Each structure stands twice: as structure tokens, then as C-alpha cells.
Amino acid sequence: MATSYDHEDAVGYDDIGGRQEQQPDQGYDPNFVPDSVKTFVVHLYRHIREKNVYEIHQMYEGSFQKLSDRMFKESPWPSVDAVAPYVDNDHVFCLLYREMWFRHLYARLSPTLRQRIDSWDNYCSLFQVVLHGVVNMQLPNQWLWDMVDEFVYQFQSFCQYRAKMKNKTEQEIALLRQYDQAWNVYGVLNYLQALVEKSMIIQILEQEKEGLEQFTATDGYDYSGGSNVLKVLGYFSMVGLLRVHCLLGDYHTGLKCLLPIDISQSGVYTSVIGSHITTIYHYGFANLMLRRYVDAIREFNKILLYIYKTKNYHQKSPQYEQILKKNEQMYALLAICLSLCPQVKLVEENVNSQLREKYGEKMIRMQRYDEEAYSLYDELFSYACPKFITPSAPIYEEPLVNYNQDAYRLQLKLFLYEVKQQQLLSGVRTFLKLYSTISIGKLATYMEVDEPTLRTILMTYKHKTHAVGSDGKIISNADVDFYINDDMLHVVESKSAKRYGDYFMRQIVKLEEIINDMDRVKLE
Amino acid sequence: MGREREVPKQPASYTVEQLVAVNPYNPDILPDLENHVNEQVSLQTYSLDTNLCLLRLYQFEPERMSTQIVARILVKALMAMPAPDFSLCLFLIPERVQMEEQFKTLVVLSHYLETARFRQFWDEAAKNRHILEVVPGFEQAIQEYAIHVLSLTYQKVPRPVLAEAINIEGLSLDKFLEHQVAECGWALEKGHGRGQLIVLPRNEFNQPELKKNTADRIPLEHITRIFPILG
């Protein structure tokens, strides 16, 4: 379990343990600016000043990656001081450049503690500038999402790094103590929260429902000369907060942070694939931990289908590997949800066949509830869970130990505890599917337990399949249900309610499209 | 940096809930939150959000943690069943703290409730009065949870099953039933031969016919999408 868990979240992010600090590349001169980089920053700077979102996006997604692949595969980009003269020493541009500089460093090399601290400082300066409203730019959603995403990632990475205390040098420890505010959990949460509040995004989304404001319709962009930066950063920060809270094991609060975003519809969060996946992955995971399996299954199903259909389209994207990794993890989480709550009819055909291919055999074994089944739950959970963190600093006065696995072990343990409590339910299910009525005595004999025990198992079944929703109402997640009248158990057939309404709606739209197409055809 | 947001000068009208809503990540409100836990205990109220906020602050600064307060939060969370609040709290409490005797006991109690083993639960609870007695209303809250699970499961429940679940017997049970019949729509029946049956109020979980057929409704917003076509 621990081995699979040890992998970093992002593919290509090397182990950030204490011993593998980056060795300065022999050939790297931070002050040397190749011509292609000169051209890159000059153009990017110009496009930003001209608010040409399309060109900014091209350079950000395309040129930056290409140059990185060609020239900076194993070394950092030129230092910000070296490029500053080419961009009028523009303060905000330099902050943006450094943000990309660090992101590239984190992705391709291993940051030193010093660099981690500097990157934190850079985020502070950048967010301060944004929060004080002096930014008058229009940046692509992809870039703004990447900022929030990377900010949370670097926080997570820092907590993991700090928790591995055993091999730290005295110098590192001194630095950690000196800069104890760097990546401090209060700081991280308060920046995200401040972005949400200052941007007024919650009010904007509220007003949009009443038609008083446009946000979703323009994908967050501002076409009347304003800036989209604060608004969209605030928007993505809600997803950032969901993720941080999940990393801390605070699922209830995480979901609360996401409430202003209506995930039953597409929105700005779906305009960037990375944000779409991060949102649903954490939403689903939090619901799984809250035992709201049906909610988790529904959303996993939707996004897995979406990825299935659009995978080829993203093949060239720099996020492709990350998409595939999260895709696999969400199949594992779906397998867990369906093993605890077999509502297979909620899963679309293509997703289901992918799921069977990947986990079909394991899912059968997970129904058995023996030692092997537990180890499978353990394996899938460990593979697919977020990279939990301990947010507090080590106690330097005590002998230094590694505590980077503590948070993960606790969440795993509590999850397996839940699995154990549900261990007899799959047996009940099997029998419920065979009978329409059966006496308690008979069922007890079949299940090889005494009557009082059977009654507790049946009540457990009811309790575990009836979740308490966010509004406090009881929601049934039961695939097969029953009720007991004295000594007789009556099984309630779950009629799968076909939703003809949606079907007809879709067909109406389709027919209209076909008719339009046919109208366009000119018969010669 | 980071802690730049200040606790607003507290006008007397500020509730702790509002305080948390404005300062979800402010370490300075920790004492207010601790007081609020004690208030919930004495006034028999409950606020999951402020309790989670406090556990979060403890998680950020473990040296400030009061295990006595944590224990009270957990007892309160047990009383909130069937909601999963107890697990929500445990997710935030470091494992080494959970190793303490009183927390182990609470985890066992929660386990019995989660698996509807009420007899074991009441036995165990009786042995640990010192932890539970501090919080008034505990017994009654658990009885309400037991009745909730019974109502999900049974249309008619045999008297001994009910007695065991709510830990009331004999004359006290008669009195309890009398009250429930008068106030909560319960009814009593004679079982075939052996003792009494209690008819629990009908709900959509023990009476599937009551389940509203909401499956095939289309919200107006969806219809509006095809307006242009219909027009």
C-alpha cells in the first residue's frame, strides 16, 4: 500500500525528499538569455499589454512548452532579472514570469528549500497585487487555473517535504525555523479565501442566476475592457479550497467551499480540463468519505464518460499524462463506491465496460469480505486517494521523525473501518435479490447467524444505505430495499425508473439539428 | 502575512457561527470556539460547523489542543447520528490522540451504533458514565437515533426488539409507549400469540408505496432550452 501511495501526484514530479536536492547544472547560466527566450518574453509581454487572450494562450500553452522541451529540459529558465530588461522591468509581468519559472522547475527538477521559500514569496507578491486590484490584464483561464492548482500543489509538496524530518541537514532545519511562515497553512487558506471574497465571485454567481450579471456565458472573460484575473482566480480558488480541505481530511468543509458552483451543469470550471477533473475528483472523493455513494457515482460516471469521449482531443496537451492518471484513479474510486453501493444502473455503458476491464475481477473479490477483500480496498484507496498532508510544523525540540505518512494512514484506517462495518451487507443483498418475502428465522438460518444478530445486520443495512444529505434529509442509496413486518421481511423491488423526459428532450434537439442540416443541403 | 485578517471588533450580537463564517481560518477565534463547545453542552444545542472549525485549528496547532474539549465534541457528534458527524470529527483528530482511553471508548460506542448493536452499546455506555454524563441529553439523543433506524426498517416491531434498542423496559416502557401513541402516531397491536407489536408511523422507507414518483419530471429550465425549436 505505502509503495503505490508514495508516488507523487503528478507524473514527472520527482521525489522531493530531502536527499535529492537539485544539483546546479554545470552548463546553466541564469543570466544568459537565448534569443528565442528574448523573442518569447517580448511577444508575451506585448500580447498581455494588448489583452490579446488568444495569442497569450497560444504562447502560454504552446511556445512555453516547446521552448521548455527544446532548451530547458534539465535546467531552469533564465532568471527573472535577466529577462526583466526586455519587458520594461514590468513588475507584474516579472511576477508572472517567475510563477512560470518555478512551475517549470517543480515539474522538471527538484526544488531546494530555498527555492520553495522563494516561490512562496512570489505567490504572496502576485496575489497581493491581484487582491489590491492593480492588475488590468486579461489572462487565459488555463493560466489562471494553473496558478491556483500549482499554488495548492506546492503547498502539498512542501508539507510532504517538511514532514520528512529524519534526513534534514542542520542548515535546512535552521532555514525551516527561520521561515516558518512560508507555506504556512493559515497563509495558504487565507489567500485562497481572500481571493474568493475580494473577487465577489459568490455574489456574481448568485446574480447571474437572476440574469443581472454575465460570468459563465463569457467563460469568465471580460469583454468590456475590464480584467478577468481577480474574478476567475477567485472562482478557481473555491476549487482550490475544496482540494486543500480534502488534503486535510475535512470533507464537509471542502464541499461547503464548492457550493457556489453548480456542478450539475457545465460552467467556467469545465472550461479547463484540469479544473474540471480536479473539481469532480475531489467532490467525488469527499462524498465517498461522507458515505454519499450515489452522489459520488453519478459525478464520477459523468466525468469518466466525458474523458472517454474527449481523450484523443487532449492527447497533445501538456496535461495529458495527468488526465490519464486521474482517469485511472477515478475508476478505482468508482470501483470502491460500486462495491459498497452496487448501483450499477447509474453507470453508463462505456464507462461500465472500461470499469469491468480494469477492476471487474477485483470487484468480485471485494464482495467477499475476507482478508483479501480488505487488502483490495486498501490497495485501491491508497492508489486513488489524495495526497493527504499534516499541516502543522514539526516539534523541533523533540527527536525528529518522519511523519509524512501519518495523515494518509489515519484516513485509510478510518475508511477501512467503515468497510468493515459494512462487511455483512453484501450477504444480505444476495438474499434480498432472491426473495420477495422471507421470514426472519429462515433468513437467519441461511446467513448462519442467530435472529437478534440478523436484526442488527438488517438495521445496519438500512442505516448504511440511507445517507443524510447536505440539507439533513434522508436519502436512500439502496439498490434493493425491504421492510419488516414483525417476523416477516418484504423485499421492495426497485423498479428502474426510465427517464423518458430527458430522452425525448434530447431527441427533439437532435431532430431539429438534422432538419437544419437537411435544409442546408442544396439539391443540384 | 496570512494572518492579516483580523477578528472584527465583536459586537455583542455576533454569534459564534457568524464569527466562523467571517474568519474560517483565524487562529484567534480558538477560545471563542472552545467556549462555544461548552455552551452547546450546557444549552443542549449543536453546531457541527463551528466544532469542525475548532478541530481544524487544533490540527494546525496541536499544542493548543484540549482533549477535554475534543471529547465533548465527539460525544455531541455521537448524539447527531444518523449523520456521519462522528467520522467527520475523527478524520481531523491525529491518531496518537485517538489512542487515549476515553477516545477509544467513544470509537467503540460509535461502532456499536453504526452497526445497530444497541444492547452492546447500552452495556458499554453504562460502564463509561463518567465520559457521557457530562453531556446532558445523551441518552435521549441515542434513543431518537435508535427509533430512527427502527422506523427505516420496520412497519411493525416486536416489543422486545424496541426495548433493547432504546434500553427501556417494563413499566417505564409502557409509559414511554403511551406517550408515543398519544404524541407521535404510534399504535399497539397484539402479535400472533407472543406479546406486543408496535406499529411505527409510516414513512417512505418502511412503506415503499409512499415514495413519491419524482423520477420523470423535467425542470422548467430544461424545457426552456427547446423553446426556440418549439416556437
Q: What is the pLDDT of residues A165-204, one digit of tens each?
A: 888 888 888 898 899 899 999 999 999 999 999 988 988 8
Q: List strands edge to edge, sheet with B196-199.
A: A437-439, A488-492, A481-485, B154-158, B196-199, B187-190
A265, A459, A480: best to mutate for the B interface, most B CBs within 10 A: A459
Phi first, then psi: give them for residue B44, nearest 5 degrees: 55, 50
Q: What is the mean pLDDT of residues B33-47?
A: 92
In this model, does residue A366 exceed pLDDT 50?
yes
pLDDT at position B184, please? 86
Q: Does A505 touch chain B (CB under 8 A)?
A: yes
Chain A interface includes B205 (CB < 8 A)? yes
Alpha-carbon torsion angle A474, A475, A480, A485, nearest 10: 20
Return the minimum-mean-pLDDT range out of A374-388, B102-116, B213-227.
B213-227
What does the alpha-carbon distance between residue A382 and residue A385 come to, in Å, rounded to a whole number?
6
Amino acid present at A224:
S
Burial class (CB in 10 A: 0-12, 13-18, 19+), B190: exposed
Long-range CB pairs of B11-17 (<8 Å, 24+ gap) are B16/B47, B16/B50, B17/B47, B17/B49, B17/B50
Contact predicate A244/A189, CB 8 Å: yes
Among A155, A456, A470, which would you mutate to test the B interface (most chain B Cβ atoms within 10 Å of its Cβ)?
A456
Mean pLDDT computed over A203-214:
82
Section B192-218 average pLDDT:
73
Q: What is the pLDDT averaged over residues A314-333? A: 88
Task: State residue A19's pLDDT score.
Answer: 36
Closest CA to A458 of A436, A493, A488, A417: A488
Total residues found in chain A within this entry: 524
Task: Compare CB distances from B215 to A392, A395, A497 and report the shortest one's residue.
Answer: A497
Q: What is the pLDDT of residue B16?
A: 85
What residues contact A313, with CB distance under 8 A and at least 6 apart?
A: none
Residue A447 buriedness (CB in 10 A; 0-12 / 13-18 / 19+): middle
CA distance A177 to chain B (A): 15
- For residue B132, the distance in angstroms to the closest alpha carbon of chain A comes to 23
Contact A474 B205 (CB under 8 A): yes
- Using the 8-state DSSP alphabet, how is residue A215 labeled? S
**Contact of A74 with A68, CB cutoff 8 Å:** no
CA gap A521, A499 in Å, rounded: 34
> Three-state DSSP class for A27?
coil
Instruction: Show the cell assigned to A294.
Output: 450515489
Cβ contacts (< 8 Å) between B161 and chain A: which residues? 455
**Residues of chain B contacting A244 with CB distance shorter than 8 Å:** none
pLDDT surpasses 50 at A9: no
Return d(Cα A428, Cα A445) in angstroms, integer: 12
Grid coordinates in use for A341?
A: 453501493
- The pLDDT mean for chain A works out to 86
> What chain A residue is nearest to B202 in terms of C-alpha separation?
A483
d(CA A88, CA B159): 85
Average pLDDT over residues B115-138: 92
Start-to-end Cα distance in chain A:
67
For B120-143, letters b (16+ CB in 10 Å) and e give ebbeebeeeeebbeebeebbebbb
Over range B3-27, report the average pLDDT: 70
Place of cell 532545519: A173
The closest CB to that of B116, out of A409, A459, A467, belongs to: A459
What percentage of chain B reaches a pLDDT higher than 90? 58
Which chain B residues touch A405 with a CB distance below 8 Å?
none
Q: In this predicted structure, what is the pLDDT of residue A275?
A: 93
Q: Is the pLDDT reported for residue A496 higher than 60?
A: no
Type of residue at A249 = G
The CB-based long-range contact list for A19-22 (8 Å cut-off, 24+ gap) reads: A19/A167, A20/A110, A21/A110, A21/A112, A21/A113, A22/A105, A22/A109, A22/A110, A22/A111, A22/A112
Find the DSSP H helices in chain B: 16-22, 30-43, 48-60, 67-79, 85-90, 95-98, 101-114, 118-127, 129-132, 138-153, 159-166, 170-184, 220-225, 227-230
CA distance A44 to chain B (A): 31
Q: Is residue B29 within 8 angstroms of chain A, CB to CB? A: no
Contact check, Cβ <8 Å, B114/A485: no
Which of B2, B3, B208 shows the shortest C-beta gap to A492? B208
CA angle B94, B96, B99 (to 5 degrees): 115
- A459 CB near a chain B CB, below 8 Å? yes
Q: Which three cell numbers stand for residue A486?
A: 414483525
The 3-class secondary structure across A395-442, one letter per residue, is: CCCCCCCECCCHHHHHHHHHHHHHHHHCCCHHHHHHHHCCCCEEEHHH
pLDDT at residue A219, as a whole number: 81
**A141 is written with which cell numbers?**
483561464
Nearest 5°: CA angle at B50, between B47 and B55? 120
Nearest to A277 by CA among A220, A317, A228: A317
pTM for the predicted model, two decimal places: 0.87
Model pLDDT for residues B45-83, shown as the tens digit of each residue: 999 999 999 999 999 999 999 999 999 999 999 999 999
Q: What is the mean pLDDT of residues A279-299?
A: 94
Q: Are B82 and A463 within 8 A, CB to CB?
A: yes
A386-400: burial string, b at 16+ Cβ within 10 Å, e else: bbbbbbbbbeeeeee
Question: Would you put residue A387 in left (φ > 0), alpha (ψ -120 to 50) or beta?
Answer: beta
Cβ-defined contact of A486 to B225 (cutoff 8 Å): no
Q: By the CB < 8 Å criterion, does B152 face chain A?
A: yes
Instruction: Tell which residue, A433, A459, A493, has the closest CA to residue B211.
Output: A493
Chain A residues within an 8 Å CB radius of B24:
189, 193, 253
Write out pLDDT tens, residues B164-182: 999 999 899 989 999 988 8
Least reliable range by pLDDT among A349-353, A389-393, A513-517, B11-15: B11-15
pLDDT band at residue B228 using 50, 70 and 90 as cut-offs: confident
Measured CA to CA, the distance from residue A130 to residue A136 in angstroms comes to 9
Q: Does A363 touch chain B (CB under 8 A)?
A: no
Q: What is the mean pLDDT of residues A318-346?
A: 90
Position A312 scores a pLDDT of 82
pLDDT at residue B142 in the model:
95
